[in-house]
Amino acid sequence: MQPVLEHFGVSVGAITGVLAARGKQVDLFGVIVLALVTALGGGTLRDLLIDCPVFWTLDQSFLINATTTAVISFYLVRIRELPRSVLLVADAFALALFTVLGTRKGLHFHLTPAIAVTMGVITGVAGGVLRDVLVGEIPLVFRREIYLYATAAFVGALICVLLAAVEVAAAWSFLGGFSATLLLRLAGIKWRMSLPIFRPKTVDLGP
Amino acid sequence: MQPVLEHFGVSVGAITGVLAARGKQVDLFGVIVLALVTALGGGTLRDLLIDCPVFWTLDQSFLINATTTAVISFYLVRIRELPRSVLLVADAFALALFTVLGTRKGLHFHLTPAIAVTMGVITGVAGGVLRDVLVGEIPLVFRREIYLYATAAFVGALICVLLAAVEVAAAWSFLGGFSATLLLRLAGIKWRMSLPIFRPKTVDLGP
Amino acid sequence: MQPVLEHFGVSVGAITGVLAARGKQVDLFGVIVLALVTALGGGTLRDLLIDCPVFWTLDQSFLINATTTAVISFYLVRIRELPRSVLLVADAFALALFTVLGTRKGLHFHLTPAIAVTMGVITGVAGGVLRDVLVGEIPLVFRREIYLYATAAFVGALICVLLAAVEVAAAWSFLGGFSATLLLRLAGIKWRMSLPIFRPKTVDLGP
């Protein structure tokens, strides 16, 4: 079951990577790279930080999935628009999945709670951050919080860790964190909730 | 003593990360990420390159410190301006500390001199570079050298390695590199010293 | 023989890094960092992903070579323009070399074909991508494909892996991939070939 979910998440990540190329004069290769970075970037950073083998270097099906999805999307989006609402829900699903997989992997490697939560958030969010940096934009997730994106990941990872701490079965910790992230993200979109914006008094640090 | 200094450096790094969010429409989550990246980014990159466990994955107090500092700063800077001179001196202190800690760690892992110096400079400077890339700016440290920032790190790391090579006690190598970086940076600010700027004859490489 | 080629590639990478600083108000330190990132970035990312020691942390001659090249170039390009055609050919040579070295290293670590090809492309291309991100531009290699840059790396890496799969001697796999990348890149420049550009129907994913 888990591999099927993971591949679904990777495909969704690849599609959002392809869509980030809009209006950027990016060619087919660039689109594939953006898809790979978005789909695999979060898990890659997590594995480097945990110091375990990077997941896609052990199983080439992830690379092949993301590349194939990117090429198909590249041509498909020339023909017709993708329905925005389907994409948003699929993306929320992928966010929830990656976050909980990352958190569980952190727990599996015996990291302490705060670090496991961080690994979860990184797995869920870092792919999109890298994608935005590559196309030269301030990462979307930093700005106006796009309706509780990272916050949903944080809360879900936290619930996942808390449930694991009270020693429920792994499946419940997984499901709890997953549902929390998914629902919070969908609620955020539905009711346009966001975090407070940074509005400091002026101070000039540089140079 | 060293943990106290390290946590001081992490706090200062977190504050400069928060301040980089000025004028960028970044929200609370973005501010926390910028704080974490600035405070922990240099040491993280160093540990990945050395291929040793990333320091903050072994001790969650660094994560907690940087996050707490970021949240407090987020609200504090709404109320009042931070005094610029205090920040500049604290930042110079953190630069010197991180540089020497990075250099010493490189020596500890038996890296050759040029590589240990590079690890020192990376530890001191890379957090700020990553921060600037995330907010979509050319890293401050590349431009006009902001008064001997990286150069101070380089000279301090070099002195640290040279003192270690003549086999003085580790504490002296530490103190020598630390003082050199701190003093050079403060002198750079005071007398507005900087490196020569790149002014090539025109040549067009691309595409 | 191989070390000589590698150092040639590192020098060429360093020079293209220096030239990326044009018109950016970057100083000597920034130029050195850009040179190091361009020359060593691809191999560094590859080694992190493979989870083997980063090549330049074992042999400081690479760091010294790239730094020296950067400093010399920094002053040289003030005096006279570099001949563009020589640079393009040298850069194509470095691309081919890095790509094949990366692919062979992937095979050496028993990675599966798709992953070894990816390692080859990363080794050839990632240094330039990091360089462009640091100077705040959308990576050149994503846009208009600058005449089959990444595509040449991909085809060369593929040929290298295919030749290895039919168990010819390593030297032939090396030479086959190298020649394919070099010739395809030079042909791309000569006849201004490029990949199709991404032109989607409009769809707005965010926020």
Closest-CA residue of A relative to B56 is: A115
Least Cα separation, residue A106 to chain B (angstroms): 10
Chain B interface residues facing chain A, Cβ-Cβ under 8 Å? 16, 18-19, 21-22, 24-31, 33-34, 44, 48, 53-54, 56-57, 60, 63-64, 74, 77-82, 84, 87-88, 91, 133-136, 140, 144, 146-147
| E strand map for chain A | none
Of B113, B154, B197, the CB nearest to C27: B197
Structural contact between residues B12 and B73, judged by C-beta atoms closer than 8 angstroms: no
**Alpha carbon distance C141, C125 (integer Å):** 8
CB pairs under 8 A between B and C: 112
Partner-chain contact B84 A48, CB within 8 Å: no
pLDDT at C78: 77
**pLDDT at residue number A206:** 47
A167: helix, strand or coil: coil
3-class secondary structure, A27 = strand
Asked whether the beta carbons of B141 and B125 are under 8 A apart, the reply is yes
| Residues in C touching B158 (Cβ below 8 Å) | none
CA pair distance A93, A8, nearest whole angstrom: 9
Chain A partners within 8 Å of C204 (Cβ): 84
Which chain A residues are Cβ-neighbours of B26 within 8 angstroms?
138, 142-143, 197-198
Cβ pair C146:B113 closer than 8 A: no
Nearest CA-CA distance, residue B121 and chain C, Å = 11
Residue closest to C82 by CA, chosen among C146, C16, C127, C36:
C16
Q: Report the sign of the C-alpha dihedral through residues C163, C168, C171, C176, in that order.
A: negative
Q: CA B197 to CA A194: how far, in whole Å? A: 43
pLDDT above 50 (res B206): no
| Residue A46 to residue A14: CA distance in whole angstroms | 18
- What average pLDDT does chain B have? 86
Query: For the ranges A131-145, B43-57, B163-177, C160-174, which has the lowest average pLDDT?
Result: A131-145
Which band of pLDDT confidence, cut at 50, 70 and 90, is reported for residue A133? confident
- For residue C143, the SS3 value is strand
Cβ distance A145 to B30 less than 8 Å, yes or no, reads yes
What pLDDT does C157 receive?
96
Q: Report chain C residues touching chain B, CB-CB < 8 A.
A: 16, 18-19, 21-22, 24-31, 33-34, 44, 48, 53-54, 56-57, 60, 63-64, 74, 77-82, 84, 87-88, 91, 133-136, 140, 144, 146-147
Q: Compute the average pLDDT of residues A40-65.
A: 94
| Chain A CB contacts of B146 below 8 Å | 206-207
Residues of chain A with pLDDT > 70, as a percent, come to 89
Q: Please report the pLDDT score of residue B1 as a whole number.
A: 66
Structure token pair of residue C28: 């000597």
Q: How far is CA A106 from CA A103, A117, A165, A171, B40, in A?
A: 5, 8, 13, 15, 18
Q: Residue B197 — φ and ψ, nearest 5°?
A: -90, 155
What tens digit of pLDDT does each residue of B30-86 get?
Answer: 889 899 999 999 999 999 999 999 999 999 999 999 999 999 988 888 777 777 777
How far does A172 lie from chain B, in Å, by closest CA?
Answer: 25
Is residue C27 classed as helix, strand or coil in its secondary structure?
A: strand
CA-based torsion, B72, B78, B83, B88: positive or negative:
positive
pLDDT at A121: 94
Residues in chain C, pLDDT under 70? 1, 140-141, 143-147, 194-207
Could B133 and C134 be called an inter-chain contact, meaning their C-beta atoms sit closer than 8 Å? yes
> Mean per-residue pLDDT for B3-15?
89
pLDDT at C147: 67
Chains that touch C (3 or more CB pairs under 8 A): A, B
Could you give the CA distance from residue A160 to residue A99 in angstroms, rounded to a whole number?
10
- B207 pLDDT exceeds 50? no
Burial C32-47 (b: 16+ CB within 10 A, else e): bbbbbbbbbbbbbbbb
Q: How far apart are CA B61 and CA A97, in angstroms?
A: 27
pLDDT at B126: 93
Across the interface, of C136, C143, C205, the residue whose CB is closest to A84 is C205
**Distance between CA atoms of residues C95 and C189, nearest Å:** 14
Neighbouring-strand partners of residue A90: none
Contacting residues of B for A118, CB less than 8 Å apart: 63
3-state secondary structure chain B: CHHHHHHHHHHHHHHHHHHCCCCCCEEHHHHHHHHHHHHHHHHHHHHHHHCCCCHHHCCCHHHHHHHHHHHHHHHHHHHCCCCHHHHHHHHHHHHHHHHHHHHHHHHHCCCCHHHHHHHHHHHHHHHHHHHHHHCCCCCHHHEHHHCCHHHHHHHHHHHHHHHHHCCCCHHHHHHHHHHHHHHHHHHHHHHCCCCCECCCCCCCCCC
Instruction: Sort out which chain A residues have CB atoms less than 8 A from C143's CB and list them.
Output: 24-27, 30
How many CB pairs (< 8 A) connect A and C?
112
Residue A145 near residue A198 (C-beta atoms within 8 A): no
pLDDT for position A147: 67
The closest CB to that of B77, out of A150, A201, A207, belongs to: A201
| pLDDT, tens only, C54-110 | 999 999 999 999 999 999 988 888 777 777 777 788 888 989 999 999 999 999 999
Helix (H, G, I), strand (E, B) or coil at C63: helix
